[in-house]
Amino acid sequence: MSQFFNQFQVVPFKTTEQHPVELFFQKEGRYSNFQKETFFLRLIVDTDFALWSEKCKSWQKKHSGHLYVAQFSSQLTPSQATHYRDLYHQKGLQPSFQFQNMIWNETFHHTLQNILQLFQKIRNCKEESILCNFAVKLFYWIDLYFPQLFIETTKMNQFPKFICSGKIGISEYLFLYLLYRLGCDVLYLGHGQDVSVSSTELLSLSQRVEQPPVLQQTAGQSNPLFPIPAQQRPTISRASLQRADRVNQRPAIQPTAPKQERNILSRASLQHPNRTPPAKPQPSPTAPSVQNQPMEFEQLAGFASSVVMLKIFDENNECVKTGSGIVISNQGYILTNFHVVCGGSYYGILLEEETDVFYTDTLVKYHPEWDLAILRFDKYRTPIPILDASERLVRGQKVVAIGSPLGLFNTISDGIVSGFRDLRGMSMVQFTAPVSHGSSGGALLDLYGRLIGVITAGFDDGQNLNLAVDHNTILQFVGNLL
């Protein structure tokens, strides 16, 4: 059986006095001889966003197969998430939606494989749980949006248009790319911000269309659009559907995580409008390196650049609580407590020496019994190494705690290891360094700058009776993410 795949050719987007949104709805890509001109555009609108958003809703009502989504849905129920995970593990990338046209359906499944491979490449992903979470989101959005777009699935004579706004991360962007590859015209309508995708490889798959400025209106004259110089004219990609041999290869997937480790769906990656692209990996200017000799407290304070403050937001974009987290990998993994991130829709990340807040909703894995969780974000920070499992802590040794108690960013305190406790089958380090609410998820370091525990709890009725998950439990939980 043969199938289609896309090849791209850049064609000019002709400038007219029409607004690009109007032009997008009027343009119909030519389809003949198994070739379809398909548009994948990004347009950033500031003052007129509400106007064009309402027009998109109006066009949607008038045309079947046209869909406007103000914000990608991420409201999966636990039963839905379980269903899609089981579907992925049992059948791989085989969603329930199918095209009746055999060639179109072959293109659909081949493109899904390409999308997964692209996700693996961009995210440098080796964890099956992360791939599964991404597949779950694709299955959910396919079931939610495809029936509203692809009204006719037998003949390739009617192609839909999909317009979306809101915050678009890698997962949403790759879903848009999937639509584009299937002949759907796609427009991202950004409210003062572009998609939250830093990969130039991904951005090159779409074209950003600039909204020309408007001439000052004079009496008796309309407001024409400034013409765009030829060298600045935005372009769109043309997708050609051509026959090719079917590729049955599935990307290599790592072994499944231990049964006790639970993974949930990473919701749409929400990024701040001022989000900056990931910095080129290089050591943080203030983070010291681990030494063979005990450090002074002034040196240990430098590790605060690798401890972050977390803001937890609900579905209404309200910050419901704060906590702390520890950068443990140069791949952007942040270790924290499960009780810190539990119930959050997405998370704000504050870093030392940064004025912007970085946002993510990528919850990689969690373990409620161990009260540990891992987030991931696209920003480099020098990771804090975890004490080796072969080394033991001793009562009385000096320690340093770094966290954000009561929202006071990266507060540092010192103390000693005062004991070891076994609570509900979990090994805990008891220490005396003062901590408060908001310190949860923060770092407990030895004098060599190594992570010996994640600050987890304290006793309000006692003085300096605080607990941290020990390094052996951390190493067991983190697994091969390091």
Choice among 178-192, 230-244, 281-295 with the minimum mean pLDDT: 230-244
pLDDT score, position 100: 86
Tokens of 232: 């600045």
DSSP string, 212-277: PPBPPP-TT---PBPPPPGGG--EEEEEEEEEEE--------PPPPPTT-B----------TTPPP
Residue 458: the pLDDT is 65
pLDDT, position 65? 81
User: Binning pLDDT at 50, 70 and 90, where does residue 289 land?
Assistant: low
What is the identity of the amino acid at 286?
T
Per residue in 229-282, pLDDT tens?
A: 333 323 333 333 332 232 233 233 233 333 343 333 233 333 333 333 344 444
pLDDT of residue 104: 81
Stretch 467-482: mean pLDDT: 90
pLDDT band at 145 (very low <50, low <70, confident <90, very high): very high
Which residue, 97, 123, 82, 80, is CA-closest to 178? 97
Distance CA 47, CA 53 (A): 11
216: left (phi over 0), alpha (psi -120 to 50) or beta: beta
Instruction: Report the share of the chain in percent with pLDDT over 70.
Output: 75
Of 436, 392, 432, the residue nearest 416 (C-alpha): 432
Mean pLDDT of 192-217: 77
- Helices 170-181 and 128-149 cross at an angle (nearest 10°) of 50
Condensed to tens digits (0 to 9), the pLDDT of residues 325-370 reads: 999 998 899 999 999 998 888 999 998 877 788 889 889 998 888 9
**158 vs 142: which has the higher pLDDT:** 142
Computed over its alpha carbons, how large is the radius of gyration of the chain? 26
Is 158 in contact with 184 (CB distance < 8 Å)?
no
Residue 277: what pLDDT? Answer: 39
- Integer CA distances (angstroms), 37 to 8, 15, 28, in order: 9, 18, 8
Look at the block and give the residue holding tokens 């991130």: 341
pTM above 0.75, yes or no: no
Distance from C-alpha of 340 to C-alpha of 347, rounded to nearest angstrom = 10
Q: Please say whether the beta carbons of 426 and 469 come within 8 A.
A: yes
89-131: per-residue pLDDT in tens? 888 888 889 988 887 888 888 889 899 999 988 888 777 888 8
Return the pLDDT at 51: 85
**Taking all residues of the chain, what is their mean pLDDT, rounded to a whole number?**
76
Per-residue pLDDT for 220 more than 50?
Answer: no
**CA distances to 52, 55, 225, 309 from 19, in Å:** 10, 12, 8, 42
Domains recognised in the chain with CATH numbers: 2-211+232-245 (no CATH), 297-481 (2.40.10.120)
Distance CA 264, CA 81 (A): 8
Comparing C-alpha atoms, which of 341, 348, 346 is closest to residue 365? 341
- The helix (H) or strand (E) run that includes residue 399 is strand 398-403
Q: Alpha carbon of 344 to those of 310, 323, 328, 409: distances in Å? A: 11, 12, 21, 20
b vs e for 152-183, b when ≥16 Cβ sit within 10 Å of the residue's Cβ? Answer: ebeebeebbbbbbbbbbbbbbbbbbbbbbbbb
The arithmetic mean of pLDDT across residues 148-157, rounded, is 80
Q: What is the mean pLDDT of residues 33-61?
A: 80
Please state the rounded mean pLDDT for residues 382-386.
Answer: 93
Confidence of residue 462 (pLDDT cuts 50, 70, 90): low
Answer whether residue 10 shows pLDDT above 60. no
pLDDT digits (tens, 9 = 90+) for 300-334: 888 998 999 999 998 888 889 888 999 999 889 99
Q: Is 412 helix (H, G, I), strand (E, B) or coil?
A: strand
Q: Which pLDDT value is given to residue 175?
A: 95
Predicted confidence at residue 449, as pLDDT, reads 93
Beta-bridge partner residues of 438: none
